[in-house]
Chain A
């Protein structure tokens, strides 16, 4: 065998072994990538998906959820409203919301605040769609003395009027402090919609049952934040376990002088507000 022939054999063998190595590496990398992809996919799977909710091993006696709203921080961007609509499949119209933001504007010379929300026809015209929300710049020529935004949502009351009036017990209070609706028991009488003093409930005609904010129960029971809290760019919405002294909501309640809405109703709401004014109810 000539030297050329031997070197050609060696080269071929090296080439083949490299291909083998590359194939092995490829398979390993591919498998790894698949694994990673699966994990990533698992994370992007909707938390409310049938297989993952109710959350396994979640013990509702170990938590007491609470919500804080810092109205001084809210900029009225309405990302929270859109995030909520997407996350919870709230009908894409300007009349049904699980959460909303109110705008209070005090104009010089006027006794009462002018109040509107994203559903106001002027604001809907500004956004150009019933599915996207913007606050129209409607007071740019007015002499505004004071203005602020107030995010609203279900107060998950300690003594919820909606639970009290439900004739079949379809709406109920969980041990961790959230009011939920059993859609399979509900008869669709809408008594709960009438009983809520905060206007937090709407009736979903398509499904024949009412709906309302659940603080994204499908997310919080997995250790995630509600969609509105996660999407808020300024931290105006605070959520956590009030039993955990170090949780954001515990610190929020401890470090601020908080107030609740319509306290006189006796419902004992569990959304705590900072920075709201006398006209907010």
Chain B
């Protein structure tokens, strides 16, 4: 009997199936909620459809239309511009905050909690707060501008300022995540490395460059890619703060997809745009997988 069961185990058949049983619930949900909708989406993207269903199969026509559509191209550019505005600042500021707050004191704990607190707010609350800060009629910035004798600025109404304003809002909202990721990484760096460096007469700047940054470089890569993936999906802030204006200057891809699909009822066209966004995020996700699973020195 022992021989038999160990032979079975040796063949791996039983192991394979019992293993499959354990992951089955997850796989079922994954297929149902992700794979099937993805396939439906891809199919939809090759059709002309509205709310009443698919009208006709059009192949890649939606995609070729997309790349000639100035509004979509503007949305793609806006999205990249937004990612460019937010990701470097989130990464550098998150790291700076983590470095400053990475010690055991009451103030550090209070400040860590405060900087993280904004993360738990909903997008509606965040955008409401920042509209109150930014509106030219009685907003916080306008009041402060008046104090120093400057004319108030319509941050959300000016093409050059609208997207940077959304970026500032987003950074304020999302700074908690990179900060805690960096804090966790910093706490993994062995203390005695810093002590050895202190005995090696290293300045603080030298320790940062030669000990801290090399030790947490995987987390830096992780934060950059996670933030790229997150910020590619900009939607709520733009919709609630500017509605995509002025002059389409703040319309990101997700808002384009939403409006094309649910306001103009061009579901096939919207699905095609969604596939483009999906491809972009998939590339970033693969980059993250590549970097995080790469095996080289610690």
Q: Do A and B interact with each other, yes or no? A: no
Contact residues of B with A, CB < 8 Å? Answer: none
